Amino acid sequence: MEELDQELLRERYILAMERIEEIKKEHTVPKELEDYFQRTADFLLQMKELKEEVEEQKLWTVDFDKALAKNQKLYEDILGEHYETSYANPSYAVEKAGREMGQLLSFLYTELRGLIVYLYEGRMEEAVIFLELFIEIYNCLEQEQPSMEELHKILCEFMSDNSEILLEERIVSQLEPSVDFATKIVMESDLSDLRYLFRYGEYISENEIKLAEYLNEMPQEEIDSIASTYTEGYRIGFEVTNKDLSKKRVVNVRYPVGFERVIRKAVQNFKEMGLEPTIYRAAVSSVHKTGTDKVGYFSTSPNRQYEYDHKEDKALYYDRTYVERRLEMMRKVFEAHKKMARYHAGPAVVEVFGESPFAPKEKKEVLKFDEEQQKLRVHDMSESGSLSNEYIPGDERSFTIIAFPLPEIGDKFKEIFSEIVKINTLDYNFYQKVQQKMIDVLSLARYVHVTGRNGNRTDMTVSLQMPKNPEKEAGFENCVADVNIPVGEVFTSPMLKGTNGLLHVKQVYLEGLRYQDLQITLKDGMVTEYGCENFEDEEAGKSYIKENILFHHPTLPLGEFAIGTNTTAYVMARKYQIEDKLPILIAEKTGPHFALGDTCYSHAEDVKVCNQDGKEIIARDNEISILRKTDPSKAYFNCHTDITIPYDELDCVTAIYPDGTQIDLIRNGVFVLEGTEGLNEPLKNTR
């Protein structure tokens, strides 16, 4: 039966390509649209050639320079200045075809660019249905001017009718180790021959090439050490949260292309723990995209403005009918693979940083969620999160995240990489003891007061959950190097009532996006006002924050308050002047931080968690997350964004006791609590 299905797909593919070759010779659509269909047909015929080259392995067995040139050709249309006159650029498409038609055609072309991935991975069903969609739109436009409603209906029905195909691939690749396209590249390639990079179909830049070259220079012992830090953090994450790793069989491995030598050793380590890897690609279709985040394996973006322009493309077809069908299909796929879902242990993530800071250009021509879609998106995220948690229970899974620099960070790349390796392996015991001193004080406090200096206007009072039995309970978690590498923070889930004030950071980068003079006001733990100075128009700044920090929620709670203690990381960033390039993972350890969204214990609040001294952490819930017991739809926001105040912008962090006693932990950006002075040693050379 499967063989017959494949034969039918081959026939459909041949017919589609024959029709596209005919389109190249025709002039039957409105004159203003001819250029779009001619150029898009050229791209699709390039995909026909790509399919043949993939099947004959010509793309990674030719001379390296030829392989690189072929790879660049696949992405040429969206690179640099080419993007200005590409139909992938909504501004250009709207200029040529009008607003509604231009948005539709730009959306379609962007979805069609996914054929690069589908053909590399041999996913013929996805390739064929998108080729047929292109032909259907073309045929419709051959008629007397069709209405936009008719064209829009074709796209909406296509995305809804094919949601099962698109969703199944995504979920199955997350759960089933047998989907092993990337695993084979990692485990079977000759990694000393950098042509292996071209086996993915991802855009390959100097970042991937230089990163792979650098890792190939390392002795195996150093590779083993890096991989072990990563995999041991994952194992310890289960241990400290009292979760049984022996029940699990699958780990989802996420990494940047170029990091394969480390990942190969990590996969071997995971197998010794009884875990097989699932490795899937970051999303290429609007169906799976969530903003500009890259979840899976990925390479350097060929054009971050292109990705930003299309981050809300699903607005074209996103309605309640689509969402309900999508959720129905999601449950169906999970149900069919529920056994492997229960074996899923959670993600092990390698992040990278160092790309040039990106401040996106806001365009009026791009597709954006309207107010109703924003509300629907919140509902969708909540229901999807609950559904995933039903089949992959949060109280049984864990994760780990570690980050390394890209060569793009500058000519000091090797030195910075070496420094990051050291930071990722700082003395666990030293930080554990010092942070325990802080927790001993914080666990008896009713509030923490945080103020800024040097132009930072932060003035925040955080309401704390106090242990009823301080001998056996603590209000803060002592975070060392396990799920969040590197070491260096104590954190809690604050009480919302009584948490008030202004959070201000002069400049911060969150998920690669720059925020200038970010200001967020909270009342009883909920965001009430916000703004930034990125744009002359105040409303544009608010919209930017609502989209990329609030994720279209009208408000968010303060899900976490933490004090970062990794002064070594802070000094390293200052030394190499890369503060603006640090990922949140490291930046959050370089000062106190406030996370908007869910708590750190999201979906696992009922799992008992203890610090290294045996005391149970009681601050796992807040007034929002506790609603999971009565109305789960209101308990989670499925987002968590950390905003850090760096030490040089920090005035005081003060614990306030119920009787009014005040104890400073940090004063003038320096740790002053007895027993924590050792954290100031790295800071001495910066003053």
pLDDT per position as a tens digit, 581-593: 888 888 889 999 9
Angle at 122 between CA 120 and CA 126, to 5 degrees: 100
Is 173 inside any structural domain? no
pLDDT at 634: 85
99 & 50 share domain: yes
| Banded model confidence at residue 292, pLDDT cuts 50, 70, 90 | confident
Cα(396)–Cα(242) distance, integer angstroms: 9
Residue 122 zone, left/alpha/beta (φ > 0; ψ -120 to 50; rest): left
The model's pLDDT over 399-415, given as tens digits with 9 standing for 90+, comes to 899 999 999 999 999 99
- Averaged pLDDT for residues 233-246: 88
Q: How many CA atoms lie within 13 A of 202 on its CB side?
A: 28
Quote the number of domains for the chain.
3
Asked if residue 142 is part of any domain, the answer here is yes
% of the chain with per-residue pLDDT over 70:
99
558-582 tens-digit pLDDT:
999 999 999 999 999 999 999 888 8
Are 510 and 388 members of one domain?
Answer: no
- Predicted local distance difference test score (pLDDT) of residue 526: 97
Write out pLDDT tens, residues 214-225: 999 999 999 999
Question: pLDDT, tens digit, for every residue of 495-518?
Answer: 999 999 999 999 888 877 889 999
Across 30-34, average pLDDT: 92
Co-location of 257 and 330 in the same domain: yes
Note whether 469 and 444 are within 8 A (CB): no
Which pLDDT tens digit goes with each residue over 245-258? Answer: 999 999 999 999 99
Note whether 330 and 294 are same-domain residues. Answer: yes
As given in the structure block, the two tokens for residue 562 are 């933490």
Last residue of a domain, one of 161, 191, 224: 161
Pick 262 or 486 by higher pLDDT.
Answer: 262
Q: Is the torsion defined by CA of 207, 178, 116, 50 positive or negative?
A: positive
- Residues 145, 183 within the same domain: no
Claim to verify: residue 155 and residue 254 sit in the same structural domain? no
Pairwise CA distance, residues 389 & 633, whole Å:
13
Backbone CA torsion sign across 360, 361, 362, 368? negative
Q: Is residue 410 part of a domain?
A: no
pLDDT surpassing 80 at residue 285: yes
Report the C-alpha gap between 593 and 630 in whole angstroms. 30
Q: What are phi and psi of 369, to 5 degrees?
A: -65, 135
- Asked if the model's pLDDT at residue 687 lies above 70, the reply is no
In a domain, 416, yes or no: no
Model pLDDT, residue 1: 45
Answer yes or no: do 392 and 433 share one domain.
no
Range of the domain at 618: 427-686
Work out the mean pLDDT of the chain and round it to a whole number: 92
What is residue 444's predicted lDDT score, i.e. its pLDDT? Answer: 94
For residues 476 and 610, is the Cβ–Cβ distance under 8 A? no
Q: Same domain for 76 and 108?
A: yes
* Distance from C-alpha of 360 to C-alpha of 306, rounded to nearest angstrom: 10
Give yes or no: residues 626 and 582 share one domain: yes
Confirm whether 417 is domain-assigned: no
Q: Where are the beta strands (DSSP E) in 600-649?
A: 616-617, 640-644
pLDDT band at 481 (very low <50, low <70, confident <90, very high): low
How large is the average pLDDT for residues 312-335? 93
Place of tokens 């190097």: 481
Q: Which phi and psi (to 5°) does residue 182 adopt?
A: -75, -35
Task: Kindly report the pTM of this predicted structure.
Answer: 0.87
The predicted model gives 342-353 an average pLDDT of 95
Contact 137, 36 (CB under 8 A): no
Tell me how far apart the alpha carbons of residues 135 and 658 are, in angstroms, rounded to a whole number: 70
In a domain, 633, yes or no: yes
CA 448 – CA 453 distance, rounded (Å): 17
Taking the CA of residue 32 as centre, how many other CA atoms within 13 Å lie in the half-sphere pointing to its CB? 11
Which sign, positive or negative, has the C-alpha torsion 523, 524, 525, 527? negative
Predicted confidence at residue 604, as pLDDT, reads 77
The mean pLDDT of 443-453, rounded to a whole number, is 96
**Same-domain pairing of 343 and 450:** no
Better-scored residue on pLDDT, 303 or 609: 303
Asked if 234 and 156 sit in the same domain, the reply is no
Q: Are residues 345 and 475 in the same domain?
A: no
Number of C-beta neighbours around residue 546 at 10 A: 16
User: Is a pLDDT exceeding 60 seen at residue 669?
Assistant: yes
134-171 b/e (C-beta count within 10 Å ≥ 16 → b): bbebbeebeeeeeeeeebeebbbebbbebbbebbbbbb
Assess if residue 420 is contained within a domain: no
pLDDT of 679 over the 90 cut: yes
Report for 50-59, 137-146, 601-610: range of highest mean pLDDT:
50-59
Q: Which of 194-203, 231-240, 330-339 has the lowest mean pLDDT?
A: 231-240
Residue 63 CB-density burial (10 A; 0-12 exposed, 13-18 middle, 19+ buried): exposed
pLDDT of 484 > 90? The answer is no
Task: Report yes or no on 414 lying in a domain.
Answer: no
Q: In terms of pLDDT, which residue wins out, 394 or 92?
A: 92
